[in-house]
Amino acid sequence: MSGHLLHVKTIGNETDTEISIGNEITRSLPFYNFLNKTASRFALIADQNVAEKYGLQLAAELTAEGFEVHLLTFPEGEGHKIRSTKQDLEDQMLAKELGRGDGVIALGGGVTSDLAGFVASTYCRGVSLICIPTTLMGMVDASLGGKNGVNTNEGKNLIGSFHFPKAVFINPDFLKTLPKHEMRNGMAEIIKYGLIASKELFEMLEQGQKNIEELILRSCEIKKMVIESDPKEQGFRRILNFGHTIGHALEFASSFELSHGEAIAIGMMTEAYLSFKLGHLTFGVLEQMSIVFKQAGFRLKFPQLDRQQIRTAMSFDKKTIRSTPRMVLLKAVGQVERCNGNYCSSIEPALLEDGLNWMFKEFGSQ
């Protein structure tokens, strides 16, 4: 078994999280030892798909190791990341008489870690959380940062909390069964990490690096650095939002026909274009980005979309102030524009229209 261990520790003690990466890590002695020092009884939360593929087996293995494990499931998909699912999971935990000293293990993608993390943060006023991500998105992003939450009719992740996992165990073996489009959702975030924080990672991607464990490790190192600098998203952590102002708006305007990864990829291209128009970035970087996205299998195309819907969706972005969208801008590969310490800049209407025109011309389907 190969392996890597990272430690995320903040000065304000918001978190002290161990991240272990390696094939078979979820069958290793360090994994069992960690669980042992955390609790002896666990709610193992997974969506029904992941429960069938991996949850039943993991529950059996942990039971054989002497733990009391209750596998609790919910229907898969973003549509189930809602308050009623949280309540249902909590009711199941209450029925099993799990208490303050017991733990929650989130096994699955970002939907599961967001839901299970939120459950763990409020159950008995907070119990220990351990994450075992099974999607690339979960491994490089969703399970790492302590943010969790559920969606409501008004929007995504509007209700939630910060509750950092005690440990994250990343076993890249799980990715063998992950569909290609789900892999691309995670790849978009890995490319983003290179663009915002690591020229070296971006160059590895340009050279076609295929060692997924290496890419996961580099991504976790960057997310660790960002969390340690700004655990509660007061400023610097915004850099993780690069490409997401326009990307989320595209996802929304396409009624989620466009996958998260494709939408974020086009969002990054367009936000890089705006960085170029503002004089922060050379156009050559956009050409490099386009090559990297295409190499990674991105189509960089979106279906017929309504511009007004895109503008409206942007106005709901958490960085928007008084209807003016704000975006994270790039300065170079591996570097974001500081924008006076805000790490995002207001995009005036004329510039936004220029950006949207360019995006429709380059990536629109007509």
Ligand X SMILES: NC(=O)c1ccc[n+]([C@@H]2O[C@H](COP(=O)([O-])OP(=O)(O)OC[C@H]3O[C@@H](n4cnc5c(N)ncnc54)[C@H](O)[C@@H]3O)[C@@H](O)[C@H]2O)c1
Per the CB < 8 A criterion, the answer to whether 201 and 222 are in contact is yes
Establish if 138 lies at the interface with ligand X (CB under 6 A): yes
Compute the distance between CA of residue 284 and CA of residue 198 in angstroms, rounded to an integer. Answer: 17
Per the CB < 8 A criterion, the answer to whether 253 and 304 are in contact is no
Establish if 85 lies at the interface with ligand X (CB under 6 A): no
What does the DSSP 8-state code read for residue 72?
Answer: E
Establish if 333 lies at the interface with ligand X (CB under 6 A): no
Single out the residue of 86, 147, 248, 326 in contact with ligand X (rule: CB under 6 A).
Answer: 147
Catalytic residue among 223, 224, 238, 319: 223
Provide CB contacts within 8 A for 94, sequence distance 6+: none
Compute the distance between CA of residue 105 and CA of residue 54 in angstroms, rounded to an integer. Answer: 13
Closest approach of ligand X to the CB of residue 229, in Å? 16
Establish if 174 lies at the interface with ligand X (CB under 6 A): yes
Bridge-based pairing state of the strands 68-74 and 41-47: parallel
Closest approach of ligand X to the CB of residue 294, in Å? 21
Single out the residue of 22, 55, 110, 243 in contact with ligand X (rule: CB under 6 A).
Answer: 110
Q: Going residue by residue from 118 to 137, which x/- string records binding to ligand X, judged by CB under 6 A?
A: ----------------xx-x
How many other CB atoms sit within 10 Å of the CB of residue 123?
Answer: 22
125 counts as catalytic: yes
Per the CB < 8 A criterion, the answer to whether 137 and 175 are in contact is no
Instruction: Tell me the sheet residues that pair with 132.
Output: 107
Kindly tell me which of 260 and 280 has the beta carbon lying closer to ligand X.
Answer: 260
Establish if 271 lies at the interface with ligand X (CB under 6 A): no
Q: With contacts defined by CB under 6 A, name the span among 20-28, 36-44, 177-185, 201-209 that binds ligand X.
A: 177-185
Single out the residue of 178, 190, 336, 359 in contact with ligand X (rule: CB under 6 A).
Answer: 178
Per the CB < 8 A criterion, the answer to whether 85 and 52 are in contact is no
| Helix 199-206 × helix 283-295 angle, to 10° | 50
223 counts as catalytic: yes
80 counts as catalytic: no
The residues that are catalytic are 125, 147, 189, 223, 233, 237, 241, 244, 248, 260
Binding site for ligand X (CB under 6 A): 47, 49-50, 53, 76-78, 81, 108-112, 114, 134-135, 137-138, 141-142, 145, 147-148, 156-157, 174, 177-178, 182, 185
